[in-house]
Structure 1
Amino acid sequence: MARIAYILLCHKDPDAIIQQAERLTAVGDFISIHFDARANKAHFDKIQSALGGNANVVFAKKRIKCGWGAWSLVQATLYAVQAAEEAFPRATHFYMLSGDCMPVKSAEYAHQFLDAKDVDYIESFDFFASDWIKTGMKGDRLFYRHFFNERTHKWWFYTSYKMQKRLGLDRKIPSDLQVMIGSQWWCLRRRTIEAVLEFCRKRKDVMRFFSTTWIPDETFFQTIVRHLVPEQELSSRTLTFLVFSDYGMPANFYNDHYDMLLSQDYLFARKISPEAKELKRRLGALYASQGEQFNISNEGRSMFKFLTGRGRMGRRFAQRFWEAESSLGRERELMIVTCKKWHVAKRLIEQTRKETNVPVIEYLFNEESTPLPDLGGIQTTLEKRTRHRRALMRMLFDYYDTDRLIICLDPSNLDLMQDFYADRSTTKLLEIRTEFTDDYLIGHATRIGLASESTPPETIDRLLPTIRYDMRFESERIRDSDFPFYFRMEERKTATENAAALSGFLDISPEVAQRIAGTEYLYVD
Structure 2
Amino acid sequence: MSKIAFILLCHKDPESIIKQAERLTATGDCISIHFDARANPEHYKRIKTELADNPDVTFARKRIKCGWGEWSLVQATLYAVEAAVEAFPRATHFYMLSGDCMAIKTSKYAHNFLDNRDCDYVESFDYFKSDWIKTGMKEERLIYRHFFNERTQKKRFYGSFNLQRKLGLTRTVPNDLQVMIGSQWWCLRRNTIENILKYCREHPEVLRFFRTTWIPDETFFQTLVRHLIPSEEIDSRTLTFLMFSDYGMPVTFYNDHYDLMLSQDFLFARKISPGAKELKQRLGDLWANDDQEFQISGEGRGLYKFLAGRGRIGRRFARRFWEVESSLGRERTLYIVTCKKWHVAKRFVSAIRQHTDLPAIDYLFDEENTALPDLGGIEGSLAKRTRHRRALTRMLFDYYQTDRLVICLDPKNLDLMQDFYADRSNTRVIELECSFSDDYLAGHAKRVGLAGEMTPEDTIRRLLPTIRRDVLQESDEIRDSIQSDLFRMRESGTDEENILAVSEFLHCPRDAATNIIHAPHLFAD
TM-score under structure 1 normalisation? 0.59
Equivalence for 1:465: none
Q: CA deviation at 1:292?
A: 1.9
Equivalence for 1:229: 229
In the alignment, the residues of structure 1 paired with residue 201 and residue 291 of structure 2 have an alpha-carbon distance, to the nearest angstrom, of 43
In the alignment, the residues of structure 1 paired with residue 87 and residue 46 of structure 2 have an alpha-carbon distance, to the nearest angstrom, of 21
For 1:43-54, list aligned pairs within 5 A: 43-54=43-54
For 1:209-220, list aligned pairs within 5 A: 209-220=209-220
In the alignment, the residues of structure 2 paired with residue 6 and residue 274 of structure 1 have an alpha-carbon distance, to the nearest angstrom, of 21
Give the partner amino acid of 1:135: T
Q: CA deviation at 1:309?
A: 2.6
Q: CA deviation at 1:308?
A: 2.6
Contact between 1:10 and 1:98, CA under 8 Å: does it hold in 2?
yes
In the alignment, the residues of structure 2 paired with residue 305 and residue 53 of structure 1 have an alpha-carbon distance, to the nearest angstrom, of 45
Q: Deviations over 1:443-501 (max 9, x none)?
A: xxxxxxxxxxxxxxxxxxxxxxxxxxxxxxxxxxxxxxxxxxxxxxxxxxxxxxxxxxx
TM-score under structure 2 normalisation? 0.59
Give the partner amino acid of 1:110: A
Equivalence for 1:382: none
In the alignment, the residues of structure 1 paired with residue 150 and residue 303 of structure 2 have an alpha-carbon distance, to the nearest angstrom, of 34
Equivalence for 1:174: 174
Give the partner amino acid of 1:125: F
Matched, 1:155 2:174: no
Counting aligned pairs with the same residue, the percent is 70
- Cα 1:140–1:29 change in 2 (3 A) is same
Q: CA deviation at 1:311?
A: 5.2
Equivalence for 1:34: 34
Q: CA deviation at 1:114?
A: 0.2
Matched, 1:302 2:302: yes
Give the partner amino acid of 1:2: S
Contact between 1:71 and 1:210, CA under 8 Å: does it hold in 2?
yes
Matched, 1:207 2:207: yes
Q: Which runs of 5+ in 1 are unaligned?
A: 314-318, 322-525
Q: CA deviation at 1:291?
A: 2.7
For 1:419-498, list aligned pairs within 5 A: none
Give the partner amino acid of 2:21: A
Q: Deviations over 1:211-270 (max 9, x none)?
A: 000000000000000000000000000000011111111111111111110000000001
In the alignment, the residues of structure 2 paired with residue 298 and residue 312 of structure 1 have an alpha-carbon distance, to the nearest angstrom, of 26
Equivalence for 2:20: 20
Q: Tell me the SS of whatever aligns to 1:105.
A: coil
Q: Tell me the SS of whatever aligns to 2:253.
A: coil
Q: Deviations over 1:264-311 (max 9, x none)?
A: 000000101111100100011000011321100000111122223335
Q: CA deviation at 1:31?
A: 0.5
In the alignment, the residues of structure 1 paired with residue 37 and residue 253 of structure 2 have an alpha-carbon distance, to the nearest angstrom, of 28
Give the partner amino acid of 1:29: D
In the alignment, the residues of structure 1 paired with residue 16 and residue 51 of structure 2 have an alpha-carbon distance, to the nearest angstrom, of 12
Q: Deviations over 1:353-383 (max 9, x none)?
A: xxxxxxxxxxxxxxxxxxxxxxxxxxxxxxx
Equivalence for 1:186: 186
Equivalence for 1:128: 128
Q: Tell me the SS of whatever aligns to 1:170.
A: coil
Give the partner amino acid of 2:237: R
For 1:306-325, list aligned pairs within 5 A: 306-310=306-310
Q: Deviations over 1:108-137 (max 9, x none)?
A: 000000000000000000000000000001
Q: CA deviation at 1:312?
A: 8.0
Q: Tell me the SS of whatever aligns to 1:206.
A: helix
In the alignment, the residues of structure 2 paired with residue 320 and residue 246 of structure 1 have an alpha-carbon distance, to the nearest angstrom, of 15
Q: Deviations over 1:57-103 (max 9, x none)?
A: 00000000000000000000000000000000111000000000010
Contact between 1:308 and 1:320, CA under 8 Å: does it hold in 2?
no
Q: Tell me the SS of whatever aligns to 2:199.
A: helix
Q: CA deviation at 1:320?
A: 11
Q: Which runs of 5+ in 2 are unaligned?
A: 317-525
Contact between 1:38 and 1:66, CA under 8 Å: does it hold in 2?
yes
In the alignment, the residues of structure 2 paired with residue 8 and residue 204 of structure 1 have an alpha-carbon distance, to the nearest angstrom, of 25
Equivalence for 1:339: none
Give the partner amino acid of 1:60: A
- Cα 1:244–1:83 change in 2 (3 A) is same
In the alignment, the residues of structure 2 paired with residue 140 and residue 306 of structure 1 have an alpha-carbon distance, to the nearest angstrom, of 33
Q: Tell me the SS of whatever aligns to 1:244.
A: coil
- Cα 1:49–1:225 change in 2 (3 A) is same
Q: Deviations over 1:388-418 (max 9, x none)?
A: xxxxxxxxxxxxxxxxxxxxxxxxxxxxxxx
